[in-house]
Structure 1
Amino acid sequence: MGSNPINLAIRFLLELAALLVIGIWGWYESESWIRFVLAFGLPIIAAIIWGIFAVLNDPSRSGKALVAIPGILRLAIELAIFSIATWTLFELGYSNLAWIYGFIVAIHYFISYDRINWLIKQ
């Protein structure tokens, strides 16, 4: 189910939401010019980490990996970025939205059990 087009679309939206929320959090963390660095830099760093470190032949991606890593490490990176996004929603005062986002992430991973098993075996 992890490669189902609807599930992949949900995953993509979750990824975009994570980058957006991390950027918004960065904006509100400072009143000075640093806010621009945080608002744009943190999401860019997260996107670079997400895009560069991958498992070879991952069916939910192109199968290519700029930097090949074990599946369990890839899973940890994904969960870390989604967890940071959930935490930043709490920090911004959107606790209900944080719970909803976290719940959708959990459901996504529950539905993607085949991909999780595949990642753990890699």
Structure 2
Amino acid sequence: MSTVADKLARKSTSKTNAKQVRLRLVYIDFWSAVKLSFLAAVALAVVTVVSYFLIYMVISATGLVGKADELFRSFTDGSVTLSQFVGLPQVMAFAAVVAILNLVVITVMGAVIAGIYNLAVKVTGGLLVGFTSN
């Protein structure tokens, strides 16, 4: 099985109008990787908070919280209700905590992956990438 770069190398012997370039990726800038992973994490955090809100609104609109509250009250003496713990403020606070933890983890993972790639390049020589202009 040949790669795209190998196919481009084979095609380079034939006369074409498009310019073909084979480049080797030998370094990923650490701070650029951190900034890009932070941007992706912010986008995922926004999606997380909005999805938690929408899921809660659908569940509350269908009356599932009320039914679960009745079931919970049947197991307890009625002094504690499930709606005390599963309200919109609690759900949004949980969504914010999850979003912040994801923000930190994804940003750190982007930095770690960039560092590991930069160390692996010293052994492997980098990633060969082929470009062409049509």
Structure in which a larger fraction of residues adopt helix: 1
Common fold, TM-score beyond 0.5?
no
Structure in which a larger fraction of residues adopt strand: 2
Give the TM interval when normalised to the shorter protein: 0.3 to 0.5
Please tell me whether Structure 1 or Structure 2 has the larger radius of gyration of its CA atoms: 2
Higher relative contact order (CA 8 A, sep 6+): 2
